[in-house]
Amino acid sequence: MTNKDENLPIRSFEKTDVRIETINRGKTCFYKNKQYYIVYETNDFKLISNNEDLTKSFSVKPKEVKYV
């Protein structure tokens, strides 16, 4: 499958590690000096939420998240 505008492949065949870790689920972390909560972690990204019930999460790079 390709993008018709630029004839670029849509799929990425790059190897990634998407093993999801739930050990730290709900743990407090900091992103851009604001408090958030871990939803899921992988080696390639972290899902974090600013809601304690872990709703409305978004993905960030692991290096951008710091723990307490």
Q: How many domains does the chain have?
A: 1
10 domain residue, yes or no: no
User: What are the Cα distances from residue 3, in Å, to 9, 11, 14, 15, 36?
Assistant: 6, 10, 18, 21, 36
Residue 31 sits at φ, ψ, to 5 deg, of: -135, 120
Q: What is the mean pLDDT of residues 11-32?
A: 79
pTM surpassing 0.95?
A: no
Residue 13 sits at φ, ψ, to 5 deg, of: -100, 15
User: What tokens appear for 38 in the block?
Assistant: 């871990």
Range of the domain at 27: 22-68
66 domain residue, yes or no: yes
Residue 65 or residue 14, greater confidence:
65
Which pLDDT score is estimated for 3? 43
Q: What is the mean pLDDT of residues 35-61?
A: 92
Mean of all residue pLDDT scores within the chain: 82
